[in-house]
Amino acid sequence: MKKQLIRAGIIGSGFAAKFHYEALMRVHSVEVDVVGVFSIDQPSLINFTASRNLKGFTILEELIEQCDILHVCTPPSTHESLVVKVLSADKHVIVEKPFTGYFGNGIKDFCGDTFKREIGLKHAKESSESMLNAEKESKGQIMYAENWIYAPAIQKEREVIEKTGAQILWIQAQQSHSGSHSLDYGQWCKSGGGSLIGKGCHPLAAAIYLKQVEGLTRNGHSIRPVTVSARTHAITRLPNYINLGNLRDTYKDVEDYASVHIVFEDGTIADIVASELLHGGVKNYVEVHANNHRTICNIAPNNAMQTYNPKEAYFDDVYVVEKTDTNQGWSFISPDEGWFNGYQHEMDAFYRTAAFGDPVESNSQLAADVTAAIYAAYVSAEQNGIEISL
Ligand X SMILES: NC(=O)c1ccc[n+]([C@@H]2O[C@H](COP(=O)([O-])OP(=O)(O)OC[C@H]3O[C@@H](n4cnc5c(N)ncnc54)[C@H](O)[C@@H]3O)[C@@H](O)[C@H]2O)c1
| Strand 92-96 to 69-72 pairing | parallel
Stretch that binds ligand X, among 68-76, 221-229, 245-253, 351-359 (CB under 6 A): 68-76
Cβ contacts of residue 110 below 8 Å, gap of 6+?
104, 188, 189
Is residue 24 within 8 A of residue 345, CB to CB? The reply is no
Residue of 358, 368, 343, 338 lying closest to 92 (CA atoms):
358
> Are the beta carbons of 54 and 48 closer than 8 angstroms?
yes
Which of 138, 141, 147, 212 is the binder for ligand X (CB under 6 A)? 147
Give the residue closest to ligand X by C-beta.
Answer: 14
| Shortest distance, position 296 Cβ to ligand X, whole Å | 20
Residue whose CB is less far from ligand X, 99 or 264: 99
Candidates 39-47, 279-287, 313-321, 323-331; binding stretch for ligand X (CB under 6 A): 39-47
Residue closer to ligand X (CB basis): 76 or 179: 76
Nearest-approach distance from CB 75 to ligand X, in angstroms: 5
**Contact region for ligand X (CB under 6 A) — 72-80, 102-110, 124-132, 304-312?**
72-80
Q: Establish if 22 lies at the interface with ligand X (CB under 6 A).
A: no
Instruction: Give the shortest CB-323-to-ligand X separation in angstroms.
Output: 11
Question: Under the criterion CB under 6 A, does residue 47 sit at the interface with ligand X?
Answer: no
Buried b (16+ CB within 10 A) or exposed e, 269-291: bbbbbbbbbbeebbbbbbebebe
Phi and psi of 43, rounded to 5°?
Answer: -60, -45
Q: Whole-number minimum distance, CB 31 to ligand X, in Å?
A: 24
Question: Quick one: 76 or 225, whose CB is closer to ligand X?
Answer: 76
- The number of residues that bind ligand X (CB under 6 A) is 22
Q: Return the number of the residue (149 or 161) whose C-beta is nearest ligand X.
A: 149
Burial call 9-21: b when 16+ CB within 10 Å, e when fewer: bbbbbbebbbbbb
Stretch that binds ligand X, among 37-45, 104-112, 365-373, 374-382 (CB under 6 A): 37-45
Q: How far apart are CA 238 and CA 350, in angstroms?
A: 43
Q: Give yes or no for a contact between 360 and 198, defined as CB atoms under 8 angstroms apart.
A: no
Q: Which is nearer to ligand X, 46 or 216 (CB)?
A: 46
Q: Helix H segments across the chain?
A: 15-24, 42-52, 60-65, 79-88, 117-137, 147-150, 152-164, 188-191, 195-198, 201-219, 337-341, 343-356, 364-382
Cis peptide before 75 (omega within 30 of 0): no
C-beta closer to ligand X: residue 44 or 365: 44
CB contact at 8 A, 124 and 371: yes
For the chain, how big is the Rg over CA atoms in Å? 20
Identify the residue among 29, 49, 74, 275 touching ligand X (CB under 6 A): 74
97 binds ligand X (CB under 6 A): yes
d(CA 386, CA 62): 49
Q: Specify the residue, 163 or 181, whose C-beta has the smaller distance to ligand X.
A: 181
Q: How many CB atoms lie within 10 A of CB 216?
A: 14
Among 7, 8, 13, 223, binds ligand X (CB under 6 A): 13
Tell which positions 183-212 bind ligand X, by CB under 6 A.
184
73 counts as binding ligand X under rule CB under 6 A: yes
Among 96, 135, 348, 382, interactor with ligand X by CB under 6 A? 96
Q: How far is the CB of 132 from ligand X (least distance, A)?
A: 18
Residues that bind ligand X (CB under 6 A): 11-16, 38-41, 44, 73-76, 78, 96-97, 145, 147, 182, 184
